[in-house]
Amino acid sequence: MSHRELPRIVCVCGPTASGKSSFAVSLAERVKAEILCADSLQVYRHLDIGTAKPTPEERRRIAHHLFDIRDPDQPFNAALYKELADSAIAEVQARGHLPLLVGGTGLYLRILVRGIFEAPKPDTELRNRLEQEMKAYGIEYLYRRLQLVDPVWAEKVDGRDRIRIMRGLEIYEQTGIPLSEHQQVHDFGEPSYQALKIGIQVKRQDLYRRIEKRAHLMVSQGLLEEYRDLRKKGFGQDLKPLNSLGYRQMAEYEAGQCTWEQAVANLIRETKRYAKRQMTWFRKEPDIHWVQSPAAKLEAIATDVTRFVARQPLLFDWESHAPWS
């Protein structure tokens, strides 16, 4: 199949708290689209507040797919995501609708569109932080963390192998996906889709304020109670989803490792770091068209999405400058 004949999809991506979900719903209403999850945590049931899933009202407005499809103790990886996403895309297209992929997990979007994963380069700031943690707590502490987030890779690594332990943690923190899963999906072959990628661009300080506001909102909505309920349902702290942002900080508070104020401050700090890593990833992705204040440019974007589906030249009256570094 030639590049021009590939099925067409649209992707809305960007860092956490950038407003992807609400914008995607408004866009979907204008272009006859259905929304597909491209987030490695929103696929799990019961993780609602901490993953900032689309609201029930948003889900009533537009059909959403690939959300709440696994329990936290069920295995899920990038290879399975691609398989399920391919099937969901085909079903949406069969209904005559446009598949609109929405999320901040760059690996999921990359393997879906391009089929090939290239490991991110080492992050100096992240590496320095891991070095500091190793000096403070020892290599055993880092290895236990690796066992939690990527047990498959940890089995292949000697518990004293500082370089491989840190690389495993780096890959997970940079992408949200274990290194062992990256290796599984190293090559899916030829690209399956032609995609219009729309990146939500928010100024750094504005994004950080949004992150702070959303963290406090999650807490007020009952993030701690959601974490406690997960534990009551029998989901152990050793599960990867319960070691993700938000839930990890609630676990530390529950274990008496920090005060409530420290837990919230840690959540905000780690979310900002995660957003920075997301932007590092997306800046290296080809062909993302960045837009500031997308709600104000909704009609222009919807026009170009319609033209994209019709295989007409795009106008790009809505593009912004490259995102912050």
Distances (CA, A) of 93 to 86, 197, 206: 11, 18, 36
Query: Are residues 149 and 277 located together in one domain of the fold?
Result: no
Whole-number pLDDT of residue 285: 86
Q: Assess whether pLDDT exceeds 80 at residue 322.
A: no
Query: Are residues 130 and 32 located together in one domain of the fold?
Result: no
Residue 28 belongs to domain with CATH number: 3.40.50.300
Query: Are residues 166 and 230 located together in one domain of the fold?
Result: no
Average pLDDT value over all residues in the chain: 91
Query: Are residues 173 and 135 located together in one domain of the fold?
Result: yes
The answer to whether residue 322 is domain-embedded is: no
Whole-number pLDDT of residue 1: 47
The answer to whether residue 53 is domain-embedded is: yes
Query: Are residues 178 and 189 located together in one domain of the fold?
Result: no
The answer to whether residue 324 is domain-embedded is: no
Band of residue 164 on the pLDDT scale cut at 50, 70, 90: confident
Q: How far apart are CA 8 and CA 311, in angstroms?
A: 9
Query: Are residues 24 and 130 located together in one domain of the fold?
Result: no
The answer to whether residue 319 is domain-embedded is: no
* Mean pLDDT across 178-195: 74
Query: Are residues 262 and 287 located together in one domain of the fold?
Result: yes
Lowest average pLDDT, out of 19-28, 103-112, 220-229, 266-275, goes to 103-112
Domain count, the chain: 2
Lowest average pLDDT, out of 30-34, 146-150, 161-165, 235-239, goes to 161-165
The candidate with the shortest Cα–Cα distance to 271, out of 206, 214, 324, is 214
Query: Are residues 101 and 194 located together in one domain of the fold?
Result: yes
Residue 163 belongs to domain with CATH number: 1.10.20.140
Query: Are residues 214 and 78 located together in one domain of the fold?
Result: yes
State how far Cα 293 lies from the chain centre: 21
pLDDT digit string (tens) for 78-110? 888 999 999 999 999 999 999 999 999 998 998
Q: The whole model's pTM is what? A: 0.79
Q: Assess whether pLDDT exceeds 60 at residue 4.
A: no
* Mean pLDDT across 302-316: 96
Query: Are residues 44 and 131 located together in one domain of the fold?
Result: no
- Residue 222 token pair: 């009952």
Domain ranges, residue 201: 3-117+185-309
Instruction: Please list, in sequence order, all residues whose beta carbon lies within 8 angstroms of the beta carbon of residue 119, skipping any fewer than 6 positions away.
Output: 171, 179, 182
Whether 72 contacts 239, CB under 8 Å: yes
pLDDT digit string (tens) for 133-161? 999 999 999 999 999 999 999 988 888 88
Residue that terminates a domain, selected from 148, 182, 216: 182
The answer to whether residue 197 is domain-embedded is: yes
Bridge partners, 291 (sequence order)? 200
Query: Are residues 69 and 137 located together in one domain of the fold?
Result: no
Rg (the chain; Cα; Å): 20
Q: How far apart are CA 209 and CA 199, in angstroms?
A: 19
Whole-number pLDDT of residue 2: 47
Whether 34 contacts 100, CB under 8 Å: yes
Query: Are residues 282 and 149 located together in one domain of the fold?
Result: no
Whole-number pLDDT of residue 118: 59
Whole-number pLDDT of residue 177: 83
